[in-house]
Amino acid sequence: MSRGSKAPAAREKSPVPVTSDLVSVVNCRYLAVKAATTVVAADSSMADRVYLDWNATTPLRQEAKAAMAAAWELIGNPSSVHSEGRRARRLLEDARNAVAKAVGSRPQDVVFLSGGTEANALALTPGLRRAAGAPVQRLLMSAIEHASVLAGGRFATEATAAIHVTRAGVIDLNHLRPLLADGPPALVSVMLANNETGAIQPVADVAAIVHAAGGLLHVDAIQAFGKIPFDLASTQADLVTLSAHKIGGPKGAGALVLAEGVEGLEAFLRGGGQELGRRAGTENIAGIAGFGAAAKAAMAALKADAARVRGLRDRLEHGLRQTPDVLVFSDDVKRLPNTVLFTAPGMKAETAVIGFDLGGIAVSSGSACSSGKVQPSHVLEAMGYRSEVSQGAVRLSLGWSTTETDVDLTLKAWRKLADTLVKGGRRNTA
C-alpha cells in the first residue's frame, strides 16, 4: 500500500445471533477454561470447596497412596524370576487376591487392565461361552449403559441391539425376553447401578433370563463397587468390570473378573503372556497395588459408609425439594445411597454447574460436554424424558468424607441459584 493511501474500509460484520445453542457452547467452553485455570490455584483454596462429584472420580485413599509409594520403590519386573522381580510379583498377586476377595471370585479370574473402559471393551468379545455352551454371537445392552459399552466392543454394529428401560430407569425385562428369543446366543450387558441416576438394576433377574436362553451376562459394576454389597454369586454374572478410581484407588487401573468356567476371551493386546495371556504388557504395579489397597479399605468401610452417606443424601434431597417442582430422577426405585440426579422447571444444567462451581461446590450435569456442545443425557432420553428436561439435569454424588456441613453449604448455594435459574423462582418454605 502506498504512503498516504487510505486503507480499505473494514467490512462490517454481521452480528452473531444469541441462541440457546450458542449459550451452551459458551458455557461448555467456560467449564473447560475454568477447569484449566483453577488447577493452578493454591491448595488452601481447595480446602474451602465442597466436592460432590464422587461418581466421576474419588479422592485417593491413604491406604492406596501408601501401597503405591511402596510399589514405586521396587525396580523389578513382575515377569522376572530374580528376587527383585518376585517382590514385584508378590505385590501384583496380593492386589489380585484383594480384588478377587472383594467380588467373590478366584484370583486367577481377575484380569488387570488400564481402567473401566478397557475392561468393558475386553468383556464385549464375540465367541465367549461356558464350557458346555454355544459361543455368543450378538450383543444386547441396556439403553442406559456407559459409552464404553454402547460402543459395542468387538461386536459388529449389526450384531448389537438395545434393551429398553422403564420410566424409572430400570431395565425392561419384558423387552429383554423376546430379544433373546429372536436369534442365536447373546452376551447381555447391564450395569449394576447407573452412573447418572444411581438406579440399581435387577441383575440377578436378568441373569436368570439370560442363562435360560443360553446366553452370558456382563455386569458393569464400576459405579456400584464400594457403594453397595455384591459379588459374583449374588449377581450371577459371567463377567464383571471394575475401576480403581471409583473406590479411592488411582486412575489408570481396572479389572475384568470372569466367573469360573467362562471361556473364549481373546486379548486385545497381544505379545507377552501377562495376565495369563489375556492382556499383554508389563503390569502397572503401582496402580494395581493402589487398586488392591483401595478395594480392601472400601470393603471394610462399606456398610458404615453407605448408611452414613444415605442419611446425608436424603437430607440433601429434602432440602432440594423445598424448591417447587424439583424432580429427582429414579427416586421410586432402589438407588445408590450417594446419588441424586435432579432438575427443576426452566433450569439449564450447564448454567447450574457453573453457578455451583462459582459458589465453591463441585457437581456435574446429566449432559456430556463434548466438542464444545452440550449433549442431552442419553440415559434420561432412554427413560422417556424430553431433551429440555434432560438438559436441565444436575448430579450430586457424595462420598465417604462428605459432611453435614458440605450438605448445608450445597443447599445454601442451591437456594441462591434457584432464585435465578428456576422458573417460578420462589421456594416452598413450608
Residue 120's alpha-carbon distances to 148, 154, 224, in angstroms, are 6, 11, 15
Q: Verify whether residue 369 is a known catalytic residue.
A: yes
Question: Alpha helices, DSSP H only, in 249-284?
Answer: 274-277
Q: Cα-Cα-Cα-Cα dihedral of 171, 177, 182, 187, to 10°?
A: 60
First to last CA, the chain: 74
Contact partners, residue 292, CB within 8 Å, separation at least 6: 67, 94, 95, 96, 97, 98, 99
Q: Which own/partner contact pairs does 159-166 have at CB distance under 8 Å and 24+ positions apart?
A: 159/126, 162/382, 163/188, 163/190, 164/382, 165/382, 165/383, 166/383
Question: Among the options 369, 383, 389, 417, which is catalytic?
Answer: 369
Helix, strand or coil, per DSSP, at residue 397: strand
Name the one residue in this structure whose C-alpha cell is 468390570.
241
What is the DSSP pairing of strand 364-365 with strand 129-130?
unpaired
Give the 3-state secondary structure of residue 87.
helix
Bridge partners (DSSP) listed for residue 255: 112, 242
Q: How far is CA 294 from CA 251, 253, 387, in A?
A: 12, 11, 38
Query: In the structure grid, which three cell numbers stand for residue 317, read together?
Result: 434431597
Q: Are 136 and 185 in contact (CB under 8 A)?
A: yes
Phi-psi region for residue 145, left (φ > 0), alpha (ψ -120 to 50) or beta?
beta
For the annotated catalytic residues, the residue numbers are 369
